[in-house]
Amino acid sequence: MSKNNKNNPYQNAMSQLTKTAKILKLDKAVLVKLQHPQRILKAKLTVKMDNGQTKKFDAYRVQYNNARGPFKGGIRYHKQVSMDEVKALSFWMTIKTAVVNIPMGGGKGGIIIDPHTLSQTELERLSRAYMKAFYKYLGPSQDVPAPDVYTTSQIMDWMADEYAKLTGKKQPGVITGKSIAAGGSLGRDTATADGGFYVLKAIANKLKLKPKQTRIIIQGFGNAGANFAQLAYKAGFKIVGLSDSKNAIYDPAGKGFNYNLVKSIKAKGDAVTVCKINDLKCQKLYHTTNEKLLEKDCDVLVLAALENQVTEKNAKRIKAKVIIELANGPVTPLADKILAEKNLVVAPDVLANAGGVTVSYFEWLQNIKKQKWSKAKVKSKLKPIMDKAFIQVWQTAKKYKTDLRTAAFILAVERLAKAMKK
Ligand code: GLU
């Protein structure tokens, strides 16, 4: 993921921090602390494959900062995982938990693997091996992992079970994003999309965008992108473009896809082509590439895939007025500059996708207090947190005359500095 320095996610993260520190005239000692993770854990996981052979996989856990609470953040299974990526993601988690003001810190983990190449039993052994490697450093009051790209509630369940075996004690609060049966929270599966949608509505309100006249393109059809598509469609927004990791479709007429199409993509999971584009006789949909989709005409571009999607190379050609970052790090700092010159509003990842970790925090609370909240209760607690964070970020941007990302960083770094001085 980091072929050249410009797109090294950790360097990008640090340049965002430097910019914030300058504006805040941040205390040097605080800055230095925020420039380094507190602990880096690495392991080579040995996993028995179904054919009897053993294979080794590189695994990481970075515990970036716990000044505001236990380290918190997902575990990613992806072939492009790297140490610098995990470091960047764990730093962004530190900022994110501070932006929404939940009492958690920042951490992240990852394994270099394409999980689609593994059988279920291999995946289970790999996930249990991850827990075995790092469990001494994890725990409800130490470090609480969660799902991220290509990790599921099933994987969280295996890890929670392995933790119980290793410590001799059942502690579901060691990990979030579990299945409901294993102590997961209702509403955690849709939380990232829910939170992002509150942010979209708040921005639409500020910019006076009416749903029916607002065309949305969504890149990425995993948990966040697919659920977001459904919410936006139901609220009357026009979804004119969608993509997954392989395919992209676009409606140049700008009318928006019909609901059944959106639902069928979601039901089938991954590939957009399964929606049988030719069957939609009433609409002309066009295949395009994932890269070209980003540059199509629309009002709101939702980035729900991976890092470094909008860079200095394509930023000039983005036609959207608003970008919502449901993925982590999809817009690079160089692209941010170009987009700001175009007056494009970017709702940054550390705000727009914070619904996921916020409901993870609710799950952790329920586990610790031995409670079970209804879905309605979860949603009614998520909305005010997202709305408040949005307003605070918006007002900070006005106060410092800056973009929303820098504003979110200012807000978070102030909170972190306060906690670190204590
Ligand atoms: N992986 C998600 C994120 O990047 C969720 C983390 C969590 O729930 O701890 O925010």
Rounded to whole angstroms, the Cα distance separating 146 from 155 reads: 9
Letter for the amino acid at 163? Y
- Ligand 1 pocket test target in 199, 357, 367 with most atoms within 8 Å of CB: 357
Q: How far is the CA of 60 from the CAs of 68, 111, 130, 158, 371, in angstroms?
A: 22, 6, 9, 18, 32
Per-residue pLDDT of the chain (422 residues; tens, 9 = 90+): 434 456 899 999 999 999 999 999 999 999 999 999 999 999 999 999 999 999 999 999 999 999 999 999 999 999 999 999 999 999 999 999 999 999 999 999 999 999 999 999 999 999 999 999 999 999 999 999 999 999 999 999 999 999 999 999 999 999 999 999 999 999 999 999 999 999 999 999 999 999 999 999 999 988 899 899 989 999 999 999 988 887 788 887 888 877 666 666 555 544 344 344 444 443 455 667 888 999 999 999 999 999 999 999 999 999 999 999 999 999 999 999 999 999 999 999 999 999 999 999 999 999 999 999 999 999 999 999 999 999 999 999 999 999 999 999 999 999 999 999 98
Q: Is the CB of 146 under 6 A from ligand 1?
A: yes
Query: Closest ligand 1 atom, CA of 176?
Result: 8
- Ligand 1 pocket test target in 104, 148, 185, 349 with most atoms within 8 Å of CB: 148
Q: How many CB atoms lie within 10 A of CB 65?
A: 25
Residue nearest to atom 8 of ligand 1 (CA): 357
Letter for the amino acid at 136? K
Residue in 72, 87, 96, 108 annotated catalytic: 108
Q: Is the CB of 353 under 6 A from ligand 1?
A: yes
- The pLDDT value recorded for residue 95 is 98
Q: How far is the CA of 147 from the centre of ligand 1 (A)?
A: 6
Q: How many CB atoms lie within 10 A of CB 119?
A: 10
Q: Is the CB of 66 under 6 A from ligand 1?
A: no
Q: Of the candidates 116, 124, 119, which has an alpha carbon nearest to the alpha carbon of residue 45?
A: 124
Estimate to the nearest angstrom the gap between the alpha carbon of 173 and the chain centroid. 21
The DSSP 8-state label assigned to residue 295 in this structure reads T
Which pTM was predicted? 0.94
Do the first three CATH levels of 37-173 and 191-352 match, i.e. the same topology? yes
Q: Is the CB of 328 under 6 A from ligand 1?
A: yes
Q: Where are any strands of DSSP class E within 49-112?
A: 54-65, 71-78, 106-112
Contacts of 110 (CB under 8 A, 6+ apart): 59, 60, 75, 76, 77, 78, 81, 85, 86, 89, 148
Estimate to the nearest angstrom the gap between the alpha carbon of 3 and the chain centroid. 22
Q: How far is the CA of 297 from the centre of ligand 1 (A)?
A: 30
Residues facing residue 238 across a β-bridge = 215
Q: Is the CB of 73 under 6 A from ligand 1?
A: yes
Q: What is the CA radius of gyration of the chain?
A: 21
Q: List the CATH code of the domain at 37-173.
A: 3.40.50.10860
Is residue 295 within 8 A of residue 318, CB to CB? The reply is yes
Q: Is the CB of 356 under 6 A from ligand 1?
A: yes
Rounded to whole angstroms, the Cα distance separating 109 from 129 reads: 13
- One of 3.40.50.720, 3.30.56.10, 3.40.50.2020, 3.30.70.270 is the CATH number of 191-352, namely 3.40.50.720
Query: Closest ligand 1 atom, CA of 76?
Result: 1
Q: Is the CB of 195 under 6 A from ligand 1?
A: no
Q: How far is the CA of 176 from the centre of ligand 1 (A)?
A: 9
Query: Closest ligand 1 atom, CA of 144?
Result: 9
Query: Which sequence spans correspond to the domains of the chain?
Result: 37-173, 191-352
- The pLDDT value recorded for residue 286 is 64
Q: Is the CB of 97 under 6 A from ligand 1?
A: no
Rounded to whole angstroms, the Cα distance separating 375 from 365 reads: 15
The DSSP 8-state label assigned to residue 35 in this structure reads T
Residue found by looking up tokens 């593994």 in the block: 118
Residue nearest to atom 9 of ligand 1 (CA): 73
Rounded to whole angstroms, the Cα distance separating 300 from 347 reads: 11
Report angle CA 78, 81, 85 to the nearest 5 degrees. Answer: 135
Rounded to whole angstroms, the Cα distance separating 132 from 163 reads: 8
Q: Clarify whether 284 is annotated catalytic.
A: no
Of all helices (H) and strands (E), which one includes residue 161? helix 153-167
Query: Closest ligand 1 atom, CA of 148?
Result: 1
Lookup: tokens for 7:
């797109």
Q: Is the CB of 74 under 6 A from ligand 1?
A: yes
Contacts of 313 (CB under 8 A, 6+ apart): none
Query: Closest ligand 1 atom, CA of 177?
Result: 8
Is residue 68 within 8 A of residue 97, CB to CB? The reply is yes
Torsion sign, CA atoms 62, 64, 65, 71: negative
